[in-house]
Structure 1
C-alpha cells in the first residue's frame, strides 16, 4: 500500500459526526462528482479507484440522507488495471446538493459556502474530503517532501488554498493541463496537514522518516564540510612545506629564530597536521605553549622569509 493510500485509509476510518460528514461529502462531490439530468430526474455519480473511499462515500450517503447508492465496479484494461468504483445516487440527488449548499436558487456552486466551513471542525473535515478526492503525498523515505491536491476548478483551488492558509499551511497553486494543483513542499507543514487530517499513524511514520532523513542529511553536510576543511588544510600544509624547503636551501642567507625552527620541525614531522595539532605537538616536544593564532602567525612569518628567495628563482 502506498503512503497516500495509507493516509486516505486512516481518514476514512475516523468516525465523524453529521456536521463533519456533510463537510467531507461536500468536498468529495465538488471535487469528483458528475451530475446527470434527464426525463427521470437528477442523478449523481462519483468515481474513485480507492475501495476504502468508495465505502466511505456509500456510508456517508446512507447515514446522512437515508439513500441506497448503487455501486458498480469497472475494470480498467489500460496500463494501470485498477478497479474504478462508481457510486450513483438516483433518489434525493437534488435534496443532497441543496443540503450541502452546492445547488441553490442561483445555480450550482463549485466552491464551499461560508456556512459549510465556518467552524474549525467543519473546515478540517472539508480539507479531509478534498484530500480523499484528489490528494497525494510522496513517500518521505524515497522522494522529496511534496503534498498536493488536484482540483478541477480555479475558484475551488483558491478556496482550498485560502482554507489551508487559515490553518497556517502556506499552500501554492499551479495549473497542470486542465486542472489546478494546490501543493505544499515543506516537510513540517505536510506533517501539520497530516495532523489536521487526524492521520496519526501516517503522521508518526512521516515524522520518523523525516527525522532520520534530516539527521543523515545533516551528517552528510558535516562530512562534506569536514572534508573541505581537510582539503584546505592539506593544501596550506603543502605550501608551508614548500616555503620550508626554500628556507633550508638558503639557510646561510637567512636567520631563523628558535621558535620558528620548532614550527618548521613539527610541520616536517607532521605534514598533514592541523594548526591545533601542530600546537599540541610543539607543546609535547618543546614545552612551547602556543595558541592557534600564534601558530598561524609563525607560519605566515616562514612564508614571508621564503618568498624573496622564491622570487629570485622565478626572475
Structure 2
C-alpha cells in the first residue's frame, strides 16, 4: 500500500461529528463525484482504487444519507490487480446534495464549491479541516517518506477550484505552488516541514510520526555519511601534506642543510619523519610531549619555513 493511501485510510478511521462528516463528504464528492441522469432518476457515482476508502465513505454516508447505496467492483482486464471500487447513490440524491450545499440546480446542475470563508474562524476550524481532508482523499497524493523527494499535491480539473482552495489554505500558512500536468492543475508543496504540517492539519498523526521518523533517520544517516566523508577527506589531505613535507625534509637533510633550521623546526622535522600521517593537532601534542610549547598555527609556520628552505635548493 502506498503512503498516500495509508494517510487517506487513517483520516477516514477517525470519529467525526455529523457536521464534520458532511464537510468531509462535501470535499470528497466535489472532486470525486459524478452526477448521472438515468431513466429512473438522478444518481451519484463515487469511486476509489482502495476498498478501505470506499467502505469508509460508505459507512459515513449511511449515517447522513437516507437512500439506497449500491457497491460494485470494476476489474480492468488489462491490469490484473487494478480494481476500481464504486458507490452509486440512487435515491433522494438531489435532496441530499442540495440540503448540504453540495449541489445547486441553479448553477447548471454542477457540484459546487462549499463556502469555506465562514469556517476560517478558530471555532470552526475542524469543519474546514474535514473538508480539506475530503479533497485530499479524492484528489490528493503524497510521496513516501522513504524517498528523498518530499512532495504533496492536489490535482484539480479546473483552475477556479485550484485558485479557491489554495487561497483558503494560504490562510492556514500553506503556500501551495501551481503547475500544469496532463491537462490538470496541480497544486503542490515540497518542503518536508510543509508536508508534515499539512498531514497534521488533516489529523493524520500516525502518518506524521512515520514521516518525521523516516525523515529524521535519513537526515541523521546523511549527516553521519557526511562526517565520514569529511574525515576521509581530511585523512587523505593530511597524508598528502605529510608526504610533501617528508620529501622537503629529506631534500634538506640530503644537502646537509638541516642545521639552517631552528631547534624547533629540526625537532618538528624529526617528529614528521617518524609520523608521516599525523595531523597538525597530533603533531602539536607530540611536540608538547617533548617539552616544546607550540600551537597548530606555530607548526604551520615552521612547515612554511621548512618548505621555503627546501625550495631554495636546486634539483
Give the TM-score normalised by structure 1: 0.90
How do 1:67-82 and structure 2 match up within 5 A?
Answer: 67-82=67-82
1:149-205, Cα deviation, whole Å (9 max, x unpaired): 333222222333233333323322222102222222222222222222222222222
How do 1:171-182 and structure 2 match up within 5 A?
Answer: 171-182=176-187
* Alignment counterpart, residue 302 of structure 1, candidates 306, 311, 315: 306
Q: Which runs of 5+ in 1 are unaligned?
A: none
Query: RMSD in angstroms over aligned alpha carbons?
Result: 2.2
The range that moved more, 178-187 or 14-23, is 178-187
- Supply the distance in 1 between the matched residues of 2:237 and 2:112 (Cα, whole angstroms): 61
The range that moved more, 87-96 or 245-254, is 245-254
Give the TM-score normalised by structure 2: 0.90
3-state SS in 2 of match to 1:150:
strand
- The structure-2 alpha-carbon separation of the partners of 1:239 and 1:154, relative to structure 1 and needing over 3 Å to count, comes to same
Question: Shift of residue 110 of structure 1?
Answer: 5.1
- The structure-2 alpha-carbon separation of the partners of 1:137 and 1:168, relative to structure 1 and needing over 3 Å to count, comes to same
1:251-299, Cα deviation, whole Å (9 max, x unpaired): 2496111110011011111111100100111122x21111111111111
How do 1:90-239 and structure 2 match up within 5 A?
Answer: 90-104=90-104, 105-107=106-108, 108=110, 111-114=113-116, 117-118=119-120, 119-239=124-244
Say yes or no: does 1:243 pair with 2:243.
no
1:86-136, Cα deviation, whole Å (9 max, x unpaired): 111122222233234343333325543235754311211112111211223
Which position in structure 2 is the counterpart of 1:282? 287
- Supply the distance in 2 between the matched residues of 1:240 and 1:112 (Cα, whole angstroms): 76
Is the Cα–Cα contact under 8 Å of residues 32 and 133 in structure 1 kept in the other structure?
yes
The range that moved more, 146-155 or 102-111, is 102-111
- Supply the distance in 1 between the matched residues of 2:293 and 2:237 (Cα, whole angstroms): 25
- The structure-2 alpha-carbon separation of the partners of 1:260 and 1:92, relative to structure 1 and needing over 3 Å to count, comes to same
3-state SS in 2 of match to 1:8:
helix
Is the Cα–Cα contact under 8 Å of residues 61 and 67 in structure 1 kept in the other structure?
no
Question: Shift of residue 302 of structure 1?
Answer: 0.8
The range that moved more, 84-93 or 94-103, is 94-103
Q: Which runs of 5+ in 2 are unaligned?
A: none
- Supply the distance in 2 between the matched residues of 1:192 and 1:267 (Cα, whole angstroms): 55
- Supply the distance in 2 between the matched residues of 1:12 and 1:252 (Cα, whole angstroms): 84
Question: Shift of residue 233 of structure 1?
Answer: 2.0
3-state SS in 2 of match to 1:251:
coil
The range that moved more, 113-122 or 85-94, is 113-122
The range that moved more, 190-199 or 247-256, is 247-256
- Supply the distance in 1 between the matched residues of 2:169 and 2:80 (Cα, whole angstroms): 32
- Supply the distance in 2 between the matched residues of 1:179 and 1:111 (Cα, whole angstroms): 18
3-state SS in 1 of match to 2:35:
strand
- Supply the distance in 2 between the matched residues of 1:163 and 1:288 (Cα, whole angstroms): 70
- Supply the distance in 1 between the matched residues of 2:156 and 2:300 (Cα, whole angstroms): 62
- Supply the distance in 2 between the matched residues of 1:66 and 1:27 (Cα, whole angstroms): 19
